[in-house]
Structure 1
Amino acid sequence: MTDARELQSRFDAQRQAFAAEPYPSLAKRRDRLARLATLTRRHRDEIVRAIAADYGHRAAAETQLAEIATVGQAVRHARRHLRRWMRPRRAAVPWRLLPARARIHYQPLGVVGIMAPSNYPWNLAWLPAVDALAAGNRVLIKPSEHTPVTSALMARLAEYYFAPDELAVITGEVETAQAFAALPFDHLLFTGSARVGREVARAAAANLTPTTLELGGKSPVIVGADADLARAAERIAFGKWLNAGQTCIAPDHVLIDTSRLTAFIEAMRKTVNDFYPRGTAGEDYSAVLGDRQRERLEAMLAEARDHGCRVIELGERVTLADGGTKLPPTLVINPHHALSLMREEIFGPWLPVIGLGDFDAALARVNAGPRPLALYAFTDDAVERRRLLEQTHSGGVVFNDTLLHSAVPALPFGGVGESGMGAYHGESGFRRFSHERSVFLQSRHSRVGWLNPPYRRWLVRLMSR
């Protein structure tokens, strides 16, 4: 637990260290990234156990794939490309100012704050840290209070592998998080709900702290008339029930031609049986994190039942020995738009499936809602793909799959509108945590003295063209 004085002391120490070394070398940055990769690689078994302890049960393979492997991949990508990212970029100079030169110099911002959520506590704390360290910054991380075992492990390992004025992890409850958001960071990245994101943005605004907000939302899936239903069901099920639906870019609901609805339901039923042959009791299906999350999800489903929705449970509810809960994959057919299931981000294993008339109706439905963090479409029709890209807005778009755009380090990851602002990952993250400094180099042979008063009319006319 970190009190306000210790938090301020950690921040001040990083501020002073940055002032003493405002532009770390390529070698120093690569070393910090290498230590971060070692921190994750050497302690993978501890990470798996810590996250499982916080959840009650988290599939070990899911932690390996979605938490550990992604951090290692991000570090490798950054170290490989960092020399090029750091290189100043030339900028074109108007002919009127020649032979002057111009370039863009990437300057570290200073101290970067990262507020991570509970659904992927390792991944979503360290991935932005990779980008911030690559850009030459000092980093303070506040992990979620809902994953205390993982947060404690993160703090202990950070203290072992990094000097506290390089990178530090701050643990604590809501009050600590509020004090953290109020610090005058040079940039603050928050991942979580839109409600909390608004509070973080208000706190940051008092210091004019630039923010990146990754907020999630209701990511729709459009299943086109030409889609292979078995393939679509497989990829939707993968994206939806990874981590029991507790993924910010998980498919939130499916929009499909009414004539294909029954066949799609059967395809989903078969896919779930293939994925989890031992049912939800098996090791490969994860639990829901905490009683509050479980109660919220159960209330959503109860409301849908009360309003006459057809609910298809594709597994059994399992109560774990330590009190955790596994909620089964569940389809909710044609829920009314006024239900909380359709108004709020589900963030769990319920999947509404909505029958519509055609592709136009699906596009209209997407555009009627807030702009999502991800938009998925299963179609090979080039015209429909182009229309979707041109006529909708979302943080990212994936055709014929789900989630995997977030695993491409070269693609920016971020939201738009209600799903967030700003993006990171790879070079986009390096630039997010850098100041693009304008540099103008005047030539000794410059003739800009012609612009001095008294002004010549012919010259003014020439320069105004």
Structure 2
Amino acid sequence: MTPSLHALFDAQRHASRAAPEVGLELRRDRLQRLRALLQQHGGALARAVQADFGVRSAPLTEIADMLLLRDGIAEALRALPRWMRPRPVRTPLTLQPARAWVQRQPLGVVGVMAPWNYPLLLALGPAATALAAGNRVMLKPSERTPHTSALMAELVAQRFAADEFCVVTGGVDVAAAFAALPFDHLFFTGSTAVGRQVAAAAAANLVPTTLELGGKSPCVVDASCRLAEAAPRIAHGKLLNAGQTCIAPDYVLAPAALHAPLAEALAQAVARLFPTIAGNPDYTALVDERQARRLARLLADAAGRGADVRVLGQDSADGRQMAPRLVLGATPDMALMQEEIFGPVLPVLACERAADAVRFINARPRPLALYWFGEDRAARDLLLQQTTSGGVTLNDTLVHIAHPRLPFGGVGDSGWGVSHGEAGFLRFTHEKAVLRQSRWSLGGLLHPPYGPRTERLLALLRRG
């Protein structure tokens, strides 16, 4: 696989250097081909995702993958003329009457390394943005979703030349070779641990990266919260895709007096969302047995340290449809508070005041997302002003990622760089500075030989 991998890269690099400028119509054509792929083969892609997970409903794939993909492509098609337009820049007096602008150009060849949890959105979303920015794209989807990855490779090859957009499949060895290619930009979505490895591989070639990583995204329930409204939204955000979501609420901080009513409200919300767990086609299975074993280890550690682990439903026989677990009495020393959970397990910790929540969050790596529920504006603003996270949703979970014009990305251990909308477009764009000098330029007045005239001119400029 590695020789063909290098051959594909070389073909894309050659093509990008042969035609560095990519016009509006070609960019639109590429996006329209990708949109047509989704429209024509959406059902087949959803079935491939279902085959990889074992249980993952077509409506969930339509909502969580396809809908956001279509929105992002539609936004790019609508806004491309504005995004591509050169941006004039005001010229200072010392350089008048020159004119200056920023010209937006494609970077060249963009690599995209995608995860398994949303195997369409997190693969084709960054690819679409990179194509909108005029780049050639090589996509490496996850080996843990082999059916989806193989079908994507087949469908993309039917609509795109290999030197334009291609999908490379394979295991960990292929992923390592992919990360080591000298791309013009490398976009990776995945865990923080693997993100460090990808960043190190890219750094060897001075390849700039965008890393969308995970992390422990807190959900702060303020004393002013309306639990009847908050609980269904927390439960939905936690259990979408069985918690296998990078921005799922990872743990809850709430005043101790709210723990019992919150637990009851969450249990009722889960029962409404998923009346049954085992055999329910709407409740996604864990992607594989490895994931199930990891979560079992975290829960055993929590129970061994005195946590009250409440099971909200019945697991499937193979354990892959894992019923939600509410972990009351969680403490920071537990393994599930040291690792990103990435499953249907929700620890609840005591936190009495907004200032306490700020201190708790700031003592840990900066999260990819932060959620706050309540009506107290002062408490809300304190959290917004005194904490740093990739993004925030107030009085709901997840939905900031669904806004096609909001930048999405991490900070610190949760990643760097952004995607979505114009911010994502610019991440895949070189903003080239251009200055056009006038024949009437006054710059010659500052050329040597220096003398009294130079001093008078400098004095005038200093006063300005």
TM-score, reference length from structure 2:
0.97
CA contact (8 A) 1:187 1:209 kept: yes
Instruction: Point out 4+ residue stretches in structure 1 off by more than 6 angstroms.
Output: none
Which residue matches 1:164?
A: 162
The partner residue of 2:193 within 188, 192, 195 is: 195
Counterparts of 1:332-351 in structure 2, within 5 Å, are 332-351=327-346
**1:100 Cα shift?**
1.3
Which SS does the other structure have where 1:318 is aligned?
coil
Question: Are 2:41 and 1:26 aligned?
Answer: no
Shift of 1:334: 2.1
Distance 1:350 1:381 in 2: 28
Mapped to 1, the partners of 2:78 and 2:444 lie a distance apart of 45
CA distance in 1, matches of 2:142, 2:179: 13
Q: Distance in 2 between matches of 1:423 and 1:352?
A: 29
Structure 1 residue 295, shift from structure 2 partner: 0.5
1:364 aligns with 2:359: yes
Q: Does 1:215 align with 2:213?
A: yes
- Deviation at residue 163 of structure 1 after TM alignment: 0.8
CA distance in 1, matches of 2:363, 2:94: 48
Where does residue 425 of structure 1 map in the other structure? 420
Secondary structure of the residue that 2:290 maps to in structure 1? helix
Q: Displacement of 1:20 after TM fit?
A: 2.2
Offset from partner CA, 1:256-279 (integer Å, 9 cap, x none): 111111111110011001101233
2:75 corresponding residue in structure 1: 77
In structure 2, which of residues 291, 299, 321 is the aligned counterpart of residue 326 of structure 1? Answer: 321
User: How far apart are the structure 2 equivalents of 1:240 and 1:36?
Assistant: 30
User: Could you tell me how far apart the structure 2 residues matched to 1:379 and 1:100 are?
Assistant: 54
> Which deviates the most, 379-388 or 268-277?
379-388
After TM superposition, give the deviation of residue 399 of structure 1 in Å: 0.5
Question: Per-residue displacement from partner, 1:326-366 (whole Å, max 9, x unpaired)?
Answer: 11111001212111100110000000011222222111111
Is the CA contact 2:277–2:322 (under 8 Å) kept in the aligned structure 1? no
Shift of 1:380: 2.6
Paired residue secondary structure (2:293): helix
Q: CA deviation at 1:280?
A: 4.1
Partner of 1:387: 382
Q: Which moved more, 1:384-393 or 1:405-414?
A: 384-393
2-side partners of 1:182 and 1:463: how far apart? Answer: 50
Deviations 1:47-101 (A, max 9, x none): 1111111111112211110111111111000000000000001112112222211
User: Structure 1 stretch 174-183 or stretch 350-359: which is displaced more?
Assistant: 350-359
SS of 1:120 mapped into structure 2: coil
Match of 1:377 among 362, 372, 388: 372
1:293-308 counterparts in 2 under 5 A?
293-308=291-306
What is the identity, as a one-letter code, of the residue corresponding to 2:220?
Answer: I
**Distance (whole Å) between structure 1 residues aligned to residue 317 and residue 406 of structure 2:** 39
Q: Which amino acid aligns with 2:353?
A: D
2:182 paired with 1:184:
yes
- Native 8 Å contact 1:41 1:68 kept in 2: no
Aligned equivalent of 1:459: 457
Deviates further, 118-127 or 361-370: 361-370
* Cross-structure match for 1:124: 122
User: What's the CA shift for 1:402?
Assistant: 0.7
Within-5 A mapping of 1:6-45: 6-45=4-43
> What residue number does 1:235 align with?
233
1:449 aligned to which of 444, 448, 453: 444
What secondary structure is seen at the aligned counterpart in 1 of 2:137?
A: strand
Residue type of the alignment partner of 1:25: G
Amino acid at match of 1:440: L
Q: Secondary structure at the match of 2:298?
A: helix
SS in 2 for 1:251: coil
Amino acid at match of 2:294: R
1:392-431 equivalence runs, <5 A: 392-431=387-426
Q: Aligned partners of 1:246, 1:202: CA distance in 2, in Å?
A: 26
Deviation at 1:281, TM superposition (A): 2.7
Match of 2:434 in 1: 439
C-alpha offsets along residues 121-163 of structure 1, whole Å, 9 cap, x if unaligned?
A: 1110011011100100000000001111110001000100111
State the SS of the aligned residue for 2:239: helix
Following superposition, the deviation at residue 373 of structure 1 comes to: 0.1
Q: Post-superposition shift, 1:461?
A: 2.3
Equivalent position SS for 1:325 = coil
What is the match of residue 62 of structure 2? 64
Distance 2:155 2:131 in 1: 17
- 2: CA distance between counterparts of 1:280 and 1:91? 60
The 8 Å contact of residues 276 and 314 in structure 2, kept in 1 or not, is answered as: no
- The answer to which of 223-232 and 105-114 deviates more is 223-232
Conserved 8 A contact 1:273-1:279: no
Contact map agreement 1:219 1:253 (CA 8 A) in 2: yes
- TM-fit CA distance, 1:378: 0.8
Q: Percent identity between the aligned chains? A: 53
- Matched residues, number: 460
SS in 1 for 2:371: strand
Q: Aligned partners of 1:145, 1:431: CA distance in 2, in Å?
A: 29
Cα offset for 1:222? 0.5
TM-score normalised by length of structure 1: 0.97
8 A Cα contact 1:54 1:147, kept in partner: yes
Alignment of 1:311-322 (within 5 A): 311-319=309-317
1:114 has 2:109 as partner: no
**Structural mapping, 1:73-112, within 5 Å:** 73-112=71-110
Post-superposition offset of 1:445: 2.0
Counterpart CA distance in 1 for 2:461 and 2:291 is 64
Structure 1 unaligned runs (5+)?
Answer: none
